[in-house]
Amino acid sequence: MDRLRTALALGAAALLLAGCGGSDDGAGGGSTPTGSRGSAVSAQRCEDNEGAGKITYVTGFQYQASASILDPIAAKALGYFDDVCLDVAIQPGTGETAQNAQLVAAGTAQISSIAGNGDVLVNVANGVDVQAVAMFGHVPVATLMTKPDITDLKQLEGTTLGQKGALPVTIEAMLRANGVDLSKVKQVVVGYDPTVLVRGQVQSLTGYKSNEPLTLAAKGEKITEWNPEDYGVPGSMATTIVNPAFLAAHRSAVEDFLRAQLKAYAYCEDHAAECVADAAKLSQAGYDSEHNVQVWQTETKLVDGSLPSGQVLGQIDDASVRTEGDFLVQQRQIDAVPDLSKVVVPDLVPSLYADGQLVWPVP
C-alpha cells in the first residue's frame, strides 16, 4: 500500500511549478477580478457560505499548471470565490498526497486536490477519513517512455528502467499484461531529468504525460510513450477530497467552491497563458511558464478526452471508483474496496449543472 502512495506522491512532484490568472485582453499580465461580493448568490446563500469561515484548499503540488490546481487559483484571482461569498486560502501541497489526505481528515484543511481515486482508496483503507466529491480525468496520467527502437515491451527484459522511487502500479500492471518478467528488468531510482533516457543511461523511464514527454519534445528528442489505458489498465487524475464533517455542516460552501472552480476551469481553457501568469506570481521558485502552459493544455486534453458520455465535467461516480478499487485489490495495494457509500459523494457535482451547463449565478 505504501508503494502506491509513494508513486502517486512522486508523480505529482515530477511536474514543474505553474500558475494561473486571466484578463480579457489576452495580454497575459494576470487576471482582473470581476463581479462583486455575493454577486452570484442570494443574500441567504451568501450568509450561509460566509458561515463556513475560511476554507483552506491544499493543492496537489505547489502551484503547478495541472487540473485541480490551476483552476482554483484562477477562481480566486478572477474573483469567482468572492462572487459566491467564500473566503478561500490556497495552500501549496508538497506532493505527498497522503499528507494532503491527513490534513483534510484532521480539519486543518477543508478541501484538497489528490492524485486520483486510487490514492483516495488507499488512504481510506489506511483509516484516513475523507470523502471524494469531484474527479476530473478518467485516465491514468502515468506513462512509460522508451526510445523508438523499442517496439515490444518484452524487449525491456535485461535492460534498466528508471523510476522516481517506486514503479507506478498502473505501469507495473501494463508491463505484466504484456508478459514482461519484472525480475529481469533492473529498476533504478532517477531524478526528474528525462534526458537520462535519450542519453542511454536507462532504456525505459516512468513519467507523466503532462511533463517529461513535453520536455523531451521541446529538445527535439523522439520517444515512444507506452500508456496503461491502452492495455485496459484503469486510472484517474485530479480527484477532490473534503473533510466529511465540513461537508455535512457546509454543503453549499463545498458546492459553490466547486462551482467557482469549474467556471475557472472553462476560463483557463481559453486563457491558458493568462492563468499561468497568476500562479507564477505565487511561486517561490523559478519555473518555465511556456512549459506550464503546455502542462495545462495537455492535462485538459486528457480530462476532456476521457469524459464519459452523459457525464459532466468534474463528476465522480461509484462505478469508476469501484473499477479502480477492484484493480487495487487485484494488484494487492489494498485488502478490500472500502464502503463507497461512505467515501464517494456522486450527486454533488451533477447538482451544479442544468441541461449540461454549469449553473452561474446560483438561483
Each residue's pLDDT tens digit, 199-249? 999 999 999 899 999 999 999 999 999 999 999 999 999 999 999 999 999
Indicate whether 353 and 255 sit together in one domain: yes
Distance CA 213, CA 227 (A): 12
CA angle 59, 63, 64 (to 5 degrees): 100
Does the structure show a pLDDT above 80 at 17?
Answer: no
Boundary of a domain, candidates 186, 207, 231: 231
Number of domains making up the chain: 2
Boundary of a domain, candidates 204, 231, 258: 231
Indicate whether 12 and 128 sit together in one domain: yes
CA angle 208, 23, 133 (to 5 degrees): 50
Q: Which of 16-25, 78-87, 284-293, 328-337 has the lowest mean pLDDT?
A: 16-25
**Structural domain harbouring 217:** 142-231
Indicate whether 78 and 21 sit together in one domain: yes
Indicate whether 215 and 272 sit together in one domain: no
Please answer whether residues 12 and 60 qualify as being in contact, where contact means their C-beta atoms are separated by less than 8 angstroms.
yes
Chain-wide mean pLDDT for the chain? 90
In whole angstroms, how far apart are CA 324 and each of 80, 104, 142, 350? 33, 22, 15, 21
Indicate whether 9 and 114 sit together in one domain: yes
Boundary of a domain, candidates 182, 214, 231: 231
Q: Which of 26-40, 77-91, 246-260, 346-360 has the lowest mean pLDDT?
A: 26-40
Residue 150 in domain: yes
Indicate whether 224 and 280 sit together in one domain: no
Band (24; pLDDT cuts 50, 70, 90): very low
Indicate whether 284 and 328 sit together in one domain: yes
Indicate whether 103 and 23 sit together in one domain: yes
* pTM for the model: 0.86
Residue 198 in domain: yes
Does the structure show a pLDDT above 70 at 12?
Answer: no
Indicate whether 156 and 214 sit together in one domain: yes
CA angle 66, 324, 55 (to 5 degrees): 45
Indicate whether 349 and 263 sit together in one domain: yes
Indicate whether 150 and 254 sit together in one domain: no
Residue 347 in domain: yes
Residue 157 in domain: yes
The CATH number assigned to the domain holding 187 equals 3.40.190.10
Residue 227, φ and ψ in degrees, nearest 5: -110, 130
Residue 324 in domain: yes
Indicate whether 19 and 106 sit together in one domain: yes
Band (61; pLDDT cuts 50, 70, 90): confident
Does the structure show a pLDDT above 90 at 287?
Answer: no
Residue 363 in domain: no
Residue 258 in domain: yes
Residue 250 in domain: yes
